[in-house]
Amino acid sequence: MDQLLERRNFVKHSLRFYPRDITARSDLVQTSGATNGLHLILSTLVDLAGVIFVDEYTYMIALETIAQFNTMKIVPVPLDDDGPNVAALQALIDQHRFEATNGKLFWGVYYTIPTFHNPTGIVFSAEKCQQLIKLARETDILIACDDVYNLLHYDDPSAPPPKRLFAYDIADMGRLDGWRGNVISNGSFSKILSPGIRLGWMECPPRCVEALRNSGVLKSGGAANNYTGGIVSTLIQMGLAQRQLEHYSTNYSLRLNAMAEMLEEHLPKECSFRKPKGGYFVWIRFPAHVDCAEFNRYCLEKYSVSAIPGIRFSITGKARHFIRLTFAFHEPDYLRRSVRTFCEAAKDYLAIVASP
């Protein structure tokens, strides 16, 4: 058990990453990545007959992970441009709330991605974050934040990253009498070092740290992926992780600019997108009659380019006329060529499926 405490030590030097809302060592639980973190949250902290609220458009692999918990109810929440529709979430909570009796901490969890959301790229506004904290405290749900893109922000590299929801929960009432803590920040080194190392961390309120520590899974061995934790700890202490992060941020910013310039110039005027300020993705809206899964097949067959159709990010099938592009993987020149081709394909396809 003490070993677990020691292993948590590995991110204490990452204070520079979150400079304005200090990371406390005692809040940290080491994981083998954010997907493992989400799995641990669902299996350990939430009633297995409980409810999982998800944004209506969310990370497709999280949806697949969540679907494994087939005794739980999955409820979609409408998403506005600055975060979830909190009134709708409140109504859904009122509709599904029940008294958990089997010893788990939470009857319900809201899984979300408040910063550089996948797939939409949005960042939740301060107002929405405050409303969410209030709602979570009143109804005692857990908010599980997938915080894997927070540090990849491109507007002003010298500015701190957007404030994470976990910091809102400890900022105004945190650690005072009566505060229980309703947010987990589920972080990962996948996007800021490498996905292959399978290492992440969760910042949790004390009641969640205790429950996770007492679950058999983390007791055995003290923590997930200790050996790599030691290596990454050294990379952080030597400043090499920071250097790698700066390298990624500089390059991704150039790649995003290349993609956005081409889209602004060549995307058919019937389509629209918003340039994100961080993360990996651009979310493109097509006219409502277009099925982007069909369009994607057309792109691949006729133009040898492809993206991910919106339907993959939805449990209700509502995102059919959206498609997600990724700018993180390719060099700017390659992106310029392929985005130009994508736009030509869009123009041709819109002419073929002209609205009835």
Ligand X SMILES: Cc1ncc(COP(=O)(O)O)c(C=O)c1O
- List contacts with ligand X (CB under 6 A): 33-35, 59, 113, 118, 146, 148, 188, 190, 195, 200
Nearest distance from C-beta of residue 224 to ligand X, angstroms: 11
Residues 29, 32, 37, 39, Cα dihedral to 10°: -130
In angstroms, rounded to a whole number, what is the distance separating the alpha carbons of residues 166 and 161? 13
Strands 73-77 and 46-55: parallel
Closest residue by beta carbon to ligand X: 33
Q: Measured from the CB atom, is 69 or 303 closer to ligand X?
A: 69
Q: What DSSP element (H or E) covers 202? A: strand 200-203
Q: Measured from the CB atom, is 277 or 336 closer to ligand X?
A: 277
Nearest to 112 by CA among 142, 67, 87: 142
Q: Measured from the CB atom, is 59 or 166 closer to ligand X?
A: 59
Nearest distance from C-beta of residue 112 to ligand X, angstroms: 10
Q: Measured from the CB atom, is 42 or 271 closer to ligand X?
A: 42
User: Rounded to the nearest 5 degrees, what angle is found at the Cα of 193, between the Cα atoms of 192 and 197?
Assistant: 130
Burial (0-12, 13-18, 19+ Cβ within 10 Å), 238: exposed
Q: Measured from the CB atom, is 151 or 343 closer to ligand X?
A: 151
Nearest distance from C-beta of residue 60 to ligand X, angstroms: 9
Nearest distance from C-beta of residue 198 to ligand X, angstroms: 7
1 neighbors 219 (Cβ within 8 angstroms)? yes
The DSSP secondary-structure symbol of 79 reads: E
Nearest distance from C-beta of residue 195 to ligand X, angstroms: 5
Nearest distance from C-beta of residue 79 to ligand X, angstroms: 14
Q: Measured from the CB atom, is 34 or 350 closer to ligand X?
A: 34
User: If DSSP codes are grouped into helix, strand and coil, which group holds residue 353?
Assistant: coil
